[in-house]
Structure 1
Amino acid sequence: MANIISQINIFKREPKLRLLFVASEAAPFIKVGGLGEVMRSLPKALRDLGHDARIFIPKYAAIDLEKYPLRSEFKDLRPASSEEEDPHGLFVSNILRYDSDSGETIAYFLENMEYYEKRANVYGYADDAIRWALLSRAVLEFLRVSSWRPDVIIAADWQSGLIPNYFHTIYKGDPKLSPMAIVFSIHNLSFQAMFDHHFVSEMDYDSGKEAIPAFNDPRLLKLNFMRRGIMYADVINTVSPTYAKEITTPEYGEGLHELLSEKRSRLSGILNGIDTEIYNPETDPNVQFHYDTKTLDLKPKNKSVLQQKFNLPVSDTIPLFGIVSRLTDQKGLGLLMDAGESLLENFDMQLVVVGSGEGRFMNFFQELAKKYPQKVGIHLSYDEALGHMVYAGVDATIIPSRFEPSGLTQMEAMRYGTVPLVRKTGGLADSVVDYEPTNKTGTGFVFEKFDNRAFYGTMVRAIETYRYPEFWRDIQKRAMQADFSWTKSAREYVELFKKTIKYHHQPNG
């Protein structure tokens, strides 16, 4: 009898998790950067695994209501503690919801005219601290009155950092909220609050221990939302295993390394995924000649198209490197400023650059293209379609980042058989395996030290390897076969959420 019961248990379905992601942006409704893409892809992958994953974001004026019709869920939500805190009713909000075509609720929206709908942009306002505090308080107030309650709340990045703090102070012991566990998800530790955390006076320092001020209290602007999210969450997660280790060190910890070291047992990292349907060289509408691992000989045709588009000499024997990136110091482009001219002078190579960012890097690439018009092509603005063309056309992509929490471009490029050349940091270290010719292993070229000699040497190694098409083709195939799907990441998140629930229900958890 016992054997029969154990066999039945094998086939029991695991209980479905109820999950709520709270963020400042989420595609397809509103997207500014990588956070918005994660907030679309990860909940979707979790739903595909059978879990009830929903998002909660502000209702911005830019959201297309014809494309995404919203229904009322709750009216006159009052997140402020008292009428004194909100004498004019500016914080009184509504909750709207969006249901999928199948009738499944997948998103909630915080509707507030003063703080979201009157604003043209998602970020960049003097009162952003109030806007994100309102978001954090409102989601908890909503969950107190909602018939649907999550097992886990996932607060994404510093804008949602006050959720764990509110939960464990103002709402501590609330019978409706207490069963919920909280994950605080760090997407980029270098952004922590409304101010530059590197320059904070002793008077303005936020230890995270004092009570959260009222919405209209100027002291709210001085709070380090990131610190508070880390301090009060049940579990802290970041977007790659290596980055989770790096941020416990002074070099990468952005002043929070000691706190993160104390929380080490509750800190984990799961590598972001990519949307393998959007980034697919077999079907991508931005790619002229579609291909897969078996038809890689079609990729050089896309290279020719790209060379012509950037007015470069058409040749398959010259290695073509690409950069699709924000042009910022974080991306390690200072190394290219140091080594770029020497590489172009001494090697037969080409470079195309797509992206925008800091003026010094924009000027550098403009001057480089002027000096080497037969070798360098530039498009110094964001262009998603052109980015896909670059992935399909270049031989290798350059990503020499100072730090990289997860990174998406290396995974996107590898999907197209474009070989990544990266620095060994964060998600780059977790996603790219250095090429080892003796063992015929590896999916790219990796260097460790952040200096121009290490970068230069790795560039030379890639250029020389390109001279051997058979070896290069093997690297391309291994890169294309790497699994960066969100399904894989989502399964790891499910295990993390189960641990979070377990931690939350432990005594003194």
Structure 2
Amino acid sequence: MSILRERADEAATSFDVLFASSEALPLIKTGGLADVAGSLPVALRSLGHDARLILPAYPRALKQVRELRTACELRLPGALSPVRLLSGFMPDRDLPVYLVDAPEHFCREGNPYTDVSGRDWGDNAERFLLFSWAVATVAMGVPALNWRPQLLHCNDWQTALAPALMRDREERPATVFTIHNLAYQGLFDRATFDRLKLPPALWSVAGLEFHQRLSFIKGGIIFADRVNTVSPTYADEVRTSQHGCGLDGLLRQIGGRFQGILNGIDYHTWNPATDPALTQPYDTERLHLKAGNKLELQRLFDLPRNEHTFVLGYIGRLVEQKGVDLIVEMLPWLLEDPRVQVVMQGSGEANLELMLKRVAEAHPDRVGTYVGYDEGRAHLIEAGCDAFLMPSRFEPCGLNQMYSLRYGCVPIVRRTGGLADTVSDGDRGPATGFLFEEPSAEALCHKVREAVDLWHNNQDAWRARMRAGMEQDISWEASARQYQHYYADALEARQNLERALA
């Protein structure tokens, strides 16, 4: 019997999992991946699994990880000197963390992927190949750690080469690869492939080649034992030419190796009954207290304070994918109704930032905007708004609509991806929000007006939607149980492959 099978039999109800990500909350965040990486391993540990996180040693991460020490040094291809592997714990949780300390790759200003001006780092391929080599090395077992995972869970293109690098290694762990947004694939030219000195055999349609370009994400899709994305509906959508970003055929081809598992949210961080960012905590039994947060939100955005005004909120990137242009186009029609205010927080495309600024300047008593991201302000928006706008053109999972449900801030969303899986307009179970089909300002405005009318004319029905959303189980614990079963499938697939090669 192999070591892998022995270890799987010994831990039939629990797994040793190395969770690889390029970002994780609260260490560093650019998007929803950070929320997942900061929460799912914690939820897995609560179910009895030994989950550990590995990510690059960015300056902000180095400052926050507690009990940080040097565990060992790794000699990695492409590194001019040994790379330190640091170990410690998350600042607010007992989650073990490994940091890959390669200063020439990760000690720089800006976010993990772009410089301070927003341009991609020119050596991103080298940076995340090095990180993938580190992930694969730790996954294969490093004696100094006295720990070896049964399963490696990689996320998005920045870690997708790790399964490819381990493809021929005996006694490798089982691998799971999660696609958080298929639009980001890690595409580079052929010259980059040659420069990285990757095995020549990987330059093929059955490897990393994608229309004569190097595709990092294909490393995970082709070589992982199991592949998933972050909602069942998005899993269906990306297997179509409309949403598959050129990879729909491959995703259809891998068949049962691919599925959708819905993300969850951290109930410890997102809890209106205990949230320190709120002026007035509340729960389903004290919904009337939510109004205190609306008054504070209006004050924060310099809007007239009136709890009888219907307040709409938006938090997120100011990009067309999120349907922000639909919101901007809708606002002049919506603001004809004097009973409505809108608050928006986010940053992104310069033209959308400018449009929002102009709308806010034209309607200073109706529209409040904040360009940037502030965590406390985000919590107050969820608590203070009556409804939340999320008219995305596509949405792999979405987290803000789930935060909204948790906070009784009724979501108004487009029926796509994870939005369709988490928000109900009464077609499946109790209504928790409002959904519309067509990605247009007219369709969005029609649904918002429907929500405004219900809020003003039938508070009992409105509060029923609030309570139904707040009582819905969208916790990471529920999602972690699904991953637990998926890990078992991946381990079984790895064992079957091992038997076939024996």
Scaled to the shorter chain, the TM-score interval is: 0.7 to 0.9
Query: What code does the residue aligned with 1:504 have?
Result: R
Secondary structure (helix, strand or coil) at the match of 1:96 reads strand
Q: How many angstroms does 1:420 deviate by?
A: 0.3
Aligned counterpart, 2:306: 315
Tell me whether 1:150 sits opposite 2:149 in the alignment: yes
Aligned counterpart, 2:235: 244
Cα deviation 1:480-500 (Å, max 9, x = unaligned): 111111111100000000011
Cα deviation 1:278-331 (Å, max 9, x = unaligned): 111111111111111111011112212222332323333331111111111110
Superposition TM-score, scaled by structure 2 size: 0.87
Matches of 1:322 and 1:121, distance apart in 2 = 26
Q: How many angstroms does 1:384 deviate by?
A: 1.2
Matches of 2:64 and 2:232, distance apart in 1 = 40
Tell me whether 1:98 sits opposite 2:97 in the alignment: no
The gaps in structure 1 that reach 5 residues or longer are: 1-11, 81-85, 214-218
The gaps in structure 2 that reach 5 residues or longer are: 1-9, 115-120, 204-208
Tell me whether 1:189 sits opposite 2:179 in the alignment: no
Say whether the 8 Å CA contact 2:57–2:107 is kept in structure 1: yes
Cα deviation 1:346-399 (Å, max 9, x = unaligned): 463111111111112111211111222221111222111111111111100100
Secondary structure (helix, strand or coil) at the match of 1:470 reads helix
Matches of 1:381 and 1:499, distance apart in 2 = 41
Q: How many angstroms does 1:458 deviate by?
A: 0.9
Aligned counterpart, 2:280: 289
With 492-501 and 354-363 compared, the bigger mean Cα shift is at: 354-363
Corresponding residue to 2:320 among 322, 325, 329: 329
Tell me whether 1:305 sits opposite 2:296 in the alignment: yes
Tell me whether 1:359 sits opposite 2:356 in the alignment: no
Aligned counterpart, 2:400: 409
Matches of 1:101 and 1:423, distance apart in 2 = 36
Tell me whether 1:232 sits opposite 2:231 in the alignment: no
Cα deviation 1:217-242 (Å, max 9, x = unaligned): xx999521012221111111111111
Change (3 A) 1:433 1:256: same
Say whether the 8 Å CA contact 2:309–2:340 is kept in structure 1: yes
Cα deviation 1:256-279 (Å, max 9, x = unaligned): 111111113111111111111211
Aligned counterpart, 1:455: 444
Say whether the 8 Å CA contact 1:435–1:475 is kept in structure 2: no
Say whether the 8 Å CA contact 2:66–2:90 is kept in structure 1: no
Cα deviation 1:75-126 (Å, max 9, x = unaligned): 2x2222xxxxx5xx61531222225799977222222232223566422221
Matches of 1:105 and 1:416, distance apart in 2 = 26
Change (3 A) 1:135 1:484: same
Secondary structure (helix, strand or coil) at the match of 2:411 reads strand
Secondary structure (helix, strand or coil) at the match of 1:109 reads strand
Matches of 1:78 and 1:311, distance apart in 2 = 55
Matches of 2:299 and 2:147, distance apart in 1 = 55
Give me the identity figure in percent. Answer: 38
Aligned counterpart, 2:132: 136
Matches of 2:424 and 2:331, distance apart in 1 = 24
Matches of 1:62 and 1:100, distance apart in 2 = 12
Change (3 A) 1:67 1:250: closer
Q: How many angstroms does 1:476 deviate by?
A: 0.8
Secondary structure (helix, strand or coil) at the match of 1:463 reads helix
Matches of 1:141 and 1:450, distance apart in 2 = 45
Matches of 2:106 and 2:90, distance apart in 1 = 23
Matches of 2:238 and 2:213, distance apart in 1 = 23
Say whether the 8 Å CA contact 1:307–1:314 is kept in structure 2: yes
Secondary structure (helix, strand or coil) at the match of 1:441 reads coil
Q: Supply the RMSD in Å over aligned alpha carbons.
A: 2.9
Query: What code does the residue aligned with 1:150 have?
Result: P
Matches of 1:287 and 1:90, distance apart in 2 = 49
Matches of 2:101 and 2:260, distance apart in 1 = 33
Tell me whether 1:79 sits opposite 2:73 in the alignment: no
Secondary structure (helix, strand or coil) at the match of 2:181 reads coil
Q: Which has the larger radius of gyration?
A: 1
Aligned counterpart, 2:165: 166
Secondary structure (helix, strand or coil) at the match of 1:280 reads coil
Matches of 1:119 and 1:27, distance apart in 2 = 18
Superposition TM-score, scaled by structure 1 size: 0.86
Secondary structure (helix, strand or coil) at the match of 2:241 reads coil
> What does 1:430-445 align with in structure 2 at a 5 Å threshold?
430-435=421-426, 441-445=430-434
Secondary structure (helix, strand or coil) at the match of 1:265 reads helix
Secondary structure (helix, strand or coil) at the match of 1:74 reads strand
Say whether the 8 Å CA contact 2:23–2:29 is kept in structure 1: yes
Corresponding residue to 2:370 among 349, 357, 379: 379
Corresponding residue to 1:483 among 451, 468, 473: 473
Q: How many angstroms does 1:424 deviate by?
A: 0.8
Aligned counterpart, 1:3: none
Equivalent residues, number: 470
Say whether the 8 Å CA contact 1:242–1:427 is kept in structure 2: yes
Change (3 A) 1:117 1:337: closer
Query: What code does the residue aligned with 1:499 have?
Result: D
> What does 1:35-50 align with in structure 2 at a 5 Å threshold?
35-50=33-48
Change (3 A) 1:310 1:495: same
> What does 1:194-205 align with in structure 2 at a 5 Å threshold?
194=187
Query: What code does the residue aligned with 2:52 have?
Result: R
Query: What code does the residue aligned with 2:486 have?
Result: L
Matches of 1:145 and 1:93, distance apart in 2 = 13
Matches of 1:471 and 1:101, distance apart in 2 = 42
